[in-house]
């Protein structure tokens, strides 16, 4: 089978959608399927085409706001070359690539994985979200199958768009690779945040809790975003620069080591479609403190009771600090094969079933 995975961004950019597409591509390629990743390049500095084994990556220059970037060349190329693919699989309702895929599909089977949050994450994105909805609805109606990464996301889609051919397939975890990664431990307590440094992830709220933690606690931010400089400045104002480390984007191997070396993982995100980082952290052994949003509650079913503790997304610094201290007292617990954690292998198999059903409707 030849598959086009159409995604707003791909490596070296980092994020949940990027990771999802990378792991899905890896698994499909491992099974002998040909995979082309079609993506955008906001800066115009990356190779237009590269090959990695059976995996082909094509990048197209994009323009516009980060929430709704447009890559005209991607749409043109897909219209001219759609016949080479058995399935077109586009990702992220919140980006224009799904419209381009729907416009270009013609009679080719179209599958959409929506990663749907139901809101925009910046003032401009939020303002554009409502006028964009009719176009998004049209794209969803063009798809032969829609994949949600959680039941919460599926309910959102039905609520906002009515009945659709939706299949829920949760994100996976590469347990074997995570658990084979060595940790780097010391006597201090390490608190970890992995994710984009964007307002909706609330890294600043986590930073504000550091002065309320014992001096032996340090905090590491892994990821990048518009709040990076503000976090560093605020850490200096709070007098905790020596305990706060804004590490930026790291390699996949370094991120895995960060998970394996942390005592407590914290995510205060306001909006998610799944919550992959908190599941990876729990599998890696860390105790987890998470905002009590519905997708995080759903992720908790995959790990033993008590490994994830929930707090209000609007927790005050002292409240959050106490939750972190309590989580630290629970200690680390490495995953075992008995945990019902979804894997990327199972994600790929279920996604192939979706492709088969989409092809049957041809």
Supply the CATH number for residue 92's domain: 3.40.50.2000
pLDDT at 326: 97
For residue 245, the SS3 value is: strand
Element (H or E) spanning 88, and its range? strand 87-91
pLDDT tens digits for range 67-76: 678 899 999 9
pLDDT of residue 118: 79
Q: What percentage of the chain has pLDDT greater than the value 70?
A: 97
Binned at pLDDT 50, 70 and 90, residue 126 comes out as low
pLDDT at 9 over 90: yes
In terms of domains, do 217 and 163 share one? no
pLDDT of residue 155: 96
Confidence of residue 260 (pLDDT cuts 50, 70, 90): very high
Least confident of 223-232, 249-258, 318-327, 329-338: 329-338
Residue 80 above 70 pLDDT? yes
| 100 and 191 fall within a common domain | no
Residues 95 and 15 in one domain: yes
Tens-digit pLDDT profile for residues 271-296: 999 999 999 999 999 999 999 999 99
Q: How many Cα atoms within 13 Å fall on the side-chain side of residue 159?
A: 9
**What pLDDT sits at residue 120?**
64
Cβ pair 113, 149 in contact under 8 A? yes
Alpha-carbon gap, residue 272 to 153, rounded angstroms: 9
For residues 97 and 149, membership in a common domain is answered with yes
Give the separation between CA 287 and CA 305, rounded to whole angstroms.
Answer: 11
- Amino acid 232: pLDDT: 97
- Comparison of pLDDT for 196 and 119, the residue scoring more: 196
Instruction: Indicate whether 250 pLDDT > 80.
Output: yes
Backbone phi, then psi, for 305, in 5-degree steps?
-55, 135
Say what the pLDDT of residue 335 is. Answer: 80
What's the mean pLDDT when you consider all of the chain? Answer: 93
Residues 188 and 309 in one domain: yes
CA distances from 299 to 156, 245, 279 (A): 16, 27, 7
* % pLDDT > 90, the chain: 81
Q: Is residue 337 part of a domain?
A: no
Query: Which residues form the domain of 225?
Result: 175-330
CB half-sphere exposure, 52, CA atoms < 13 A: 13
pTM for this predicted structure: 0.90
Q: Could you tell me if 75 and 101 lie in one domain? A: yes
The verdict on whether omega for the bond into residue 255 sits within 30 degrees of 0, i.e. cis, is no
Residue 325's pLDDT is what? 98
Choose between 65 and 233: higher pLDDT. 233
Nearest by Cα to 66 from 27, 105, 37, 94: 94
Give the pLDDT mean for 343-347.
95
Q: pLDDT tens digits, residue range 89-123?
A: 999 998 999 999 999 999 899 999 999 987 765 66
Do 76 and 25 lie in one domain? The reply is yes
Same domain, yes or no: 202 and 264 = yes
Residue 336 lies in a domain: no
How do 49-52 and 2-7 pair as beta strands?
unpaired
Burial class, 306, CB count within 10 angstroms (exposed 0-12 / middle 13-18 / buried 19+): exposed
Tell me: do 102 and 6 sit in the same domain.
Answer: yes
Domain count, the chain: 2
What one-character-per-residue DSSP string does 306-342 give?
A: TSEEEE-TT--HHHHHHHHHHHHHH------TTS---
**Quick one: 134 and 235 in the same domain?**
no
User: pLDDT per residue over 313-343, tens digit each?
Assistant: 999 999 999 999 999 999 988 788 788 999 9
Selection from 134-138, 203-207, 338-342 with the highest mean pLDDT:
203-207
């Amino acid at each position: 089978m030849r598959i086009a995975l159409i995604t707003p961004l791909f490596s070296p950019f980092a994020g949940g959608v990027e990771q999802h597409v990378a792991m899905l591509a890896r698994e499909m390629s491992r099974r002998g399927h040909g995979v082309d990743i079609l993506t955008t390049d906001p800066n115009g500095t990356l190779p237009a085409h590269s090959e990695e084994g059976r995996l082909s990556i094509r990048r197209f220059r994009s323009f516009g706001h980060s929430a709704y970037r447009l890559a005209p060349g991607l749409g043109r190329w897909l219209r001219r070359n759609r016949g080479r693919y058995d399935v077109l699989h586009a990702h992220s309702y919140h980006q224009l690539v799904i419209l381009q895929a729907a416009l270009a599909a013609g009679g080719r089977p179209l599958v959409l994985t929506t990663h749907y949050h139901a809101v925009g994450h910046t003032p401009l994105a939020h303002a554009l979200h409502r006028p964009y909805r009719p176009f998004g609805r049209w794209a969803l109606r063009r798809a032969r199958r829609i994949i949600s990464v959680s039941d919460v996301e599926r309910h959102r889609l039905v609520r906002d768009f009515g009945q659709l051919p939706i299949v829920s397939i949760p994100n996976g975890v590469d347990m074997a690779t995570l658990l084979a990664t060595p940790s780097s431990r010391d006597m201090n307590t390490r608190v970890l945040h992995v994710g984009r440094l964007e307002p909706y992830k609330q890294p600043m709220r986590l930073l504000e809790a550091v002065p309320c933690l014992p001096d032996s606690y340090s905090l590491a931010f892994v990821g990048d975003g518009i709040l990076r400089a503000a976090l560093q400045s605020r850490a200096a104002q709070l007098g905790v620069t020596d305990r706060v480390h804004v590490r930026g984007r790291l390699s996949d191997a370094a991120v895995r080591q960060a998970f394996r070396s942390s005592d407590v993982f914290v995510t205060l995100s306001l909006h998610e479609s799944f919550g992959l980082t908190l599941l990876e952290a729990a599998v890696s052994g860390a105790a987890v403190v998470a905002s009590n949003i519905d997708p995080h509650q759903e992720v908790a079913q995959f790990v033993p009771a008590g490994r994830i503790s929930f707090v209000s997304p609007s927790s005050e610094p002292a409240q959050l600090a106490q939750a972190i201290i309590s989580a630290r007292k629970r200690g680390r617990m490495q995953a075992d094969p008995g945990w019902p954690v979804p894997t990327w292998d199972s994600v790929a198999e279920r996604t192939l079933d979706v492709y088969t059903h989409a092809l049957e409707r041809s």
